[in-house]
Amino acid sequence: MVEVLEWVSHNFPELELRIAWNQPMFTHHGTYIIGLSAASKHMAMAPERATMIRFEQVMREHGTDFGTMLARQPWDKPFDYELLDAFIQDQLTEKQDVTSF
């Protein structure tokens, strides 16, 4: 998980890493961009629900296990940085004028 957090920080230096609700998340200009959390069998990526809807077909094509609010990345498979990058790019675009969390 540390590797993924470092990847986000390196590739998106404009994002602020913070801990909220006992999980690491990244914000931009005070608004939520993406949260990450660890479970016993996977790491979860949680963008906003609207982003999950927009990327449903992409996740299906990637073979990503997902629910309504998060995409699951199994610990025993390579991490899908392409999907994480797409989630973050989408969130940054969609929330560029949002001023609340």
**Per-residue pLDDT tens digits of the chain, which is 101 residues long:** 999 999 999 999 999 999 998 899 999 999 999 999 999 999 999 999 999 999 999 999 999 999 999 999 999 999 999 999 999 999 999 998 887 77
Assess if residue 45 is contained within a domain: yes
Give the number of domains in the chain.
1
Within a domain: residue 101? Answer: no
pLDDT at 98: 83
Residue 26 lies in a domain: yes
Predicted confidence at residue 96, as pLDDT, reads 86
- Tell me the three-class secondary structure of 40-92, residue by residue: CCEEEEECCHHHHHHCHHHHHHHCCEECCCCEEEECCCCCCHHHHHHHHHHHH
CATH number at residue 63: 3.90.1150.200
Q: Which domain, by its residues, includes 80?
A: 2-89
96 falls within a domain = no
Angle between helices 81-94 and 2-11 (to 10 degrees): 50
Residue 97 counted as domain residue: no
- Residue 100, in any domain of the structure: no
